[in-house]
Structure 1
Amino acid sequence: MDNQSRRDAVRAFKERKVSAGVFAVRCQPTGEVWVSASRNLEAQQTSLWSQLKWKGCYTKALQEAWNTHGEEAFSFEVLETVEDEELSPMGLADRLKSLDAAWREKLGAAKALG
């Protein structure tokens, strides 16, 4: 890859649109559901799966279910995205927090992260 192509690729990466929103992790054998909000849904599953594989997830029940049933038993689902172009960082944080709480209540889910 030449220098111009590399610069173009870096610029495109930095300018890409990142989706914020709320996601669910489901354990098929048990029916358990965990919900959390994320500022970057595209990267969230990779990050969470990595934590679980390396036994570093802070959500004890989720880690225990993963250890018992394995990766194949889990699914990652985006529940709702937030258009954040008109929101301030604080406004986005507040919106994600309220959506997180609403989805956890709706699904009877536990908190997936934190």
Structure 2
Amino acid sequence: MEKTRRRDLVRDYKEIKSRPGVYSLTCVATGETWVGSSRAIDTQVNNTMFSLRHGSHRNRALQDAWTTHGEAGVVYAIVEALDDEEMTGIGRDTWLKERLRHWAAALDAKPAIA
């Protein structure tokens, strides 16, 4: 890859705005659901799926569901994302905690990160 192309790709990557949000993982076979929050919800799926594929996810029950039922047996979904760019860091963290509690109760879910 030529230097200017690489530099442009790096610049474009750095300019991507991350948005916080809440995600869920549901085992299709058992109906078990786990929820988690992330400061970068759009890229969280990569991190989560990588750790599950390699058998290194911190939540043993979630990892066991993945191992038993496979990738097609566990569905990842973004349940809510914040698009407010004006919110401060503390406000975002507070929002994430509140929304995580809300979705855990609404979905009768367990924490994705144990």
TM-score (norm 1): 0.91
Pairwise CA distance, 1:84 = 4.0
Q: Does 1:20 align with 2:17?
A: no
**Farther off after superposition, 13-22 or 103-112:** 13-22
Q: Secondary structure at the match of 1:79?
A: strand
Q: Please tell me whether the aligned partners of residues 20 and 84 of structure 1 are also in contact (alpha carbons under 8 angstroms).
A: no
Contact preservation (8 Å) 1:84, 1:92: no
What is the alpha-carbon distance in structure 2 between the residues aligned to residue 16 and residue 50 of structure 1? 21
Does the aligned pair in 2 maintain the 1:22–1:99 contact within 8 Å? yes
Q: Identical aligned pairs, as a percentage?
A: 36
8 Å CA contact 1:20–1:40 kept in 2: the answer is yes
Quote the residue 1:54 is aligned against: 54
Cα separation, 2, equivalents of 1:59 and 1:84: 30
Unaligned stretches of 5+ in structure 2?
Answer: none
Question: In structure 2, what is the Cα distance between the partners aligned to 1:44 and 1:62?
Answer: 16
CA contact (8 A) 2:23 2:76 kept: yes
Deviation at 1:83, TM superposition (A): 2.2
Residue 109 of structure 1 is matched in structure 2 by 109
Instruction: Count residues in correspondence.
Output: 114
**In structure 1, what is the equivalent of residue 96 of structure 2?**
96
Asked if the contact 2:65–2:74 (Cα under 8 Å) also holds between the matched residues in 1, the reply is no
Note if 1:86 corresponds to 2:56. Answer: no
Unaligned runs of 5+ residues in structure 1 are none
Q: Contact between 2:25 and 2:74, CA under 8 Å: does it hold in 1?
A: yes
Q: What RMSD in Å do the two structures reach over aligned CA positions?
A: 1.3
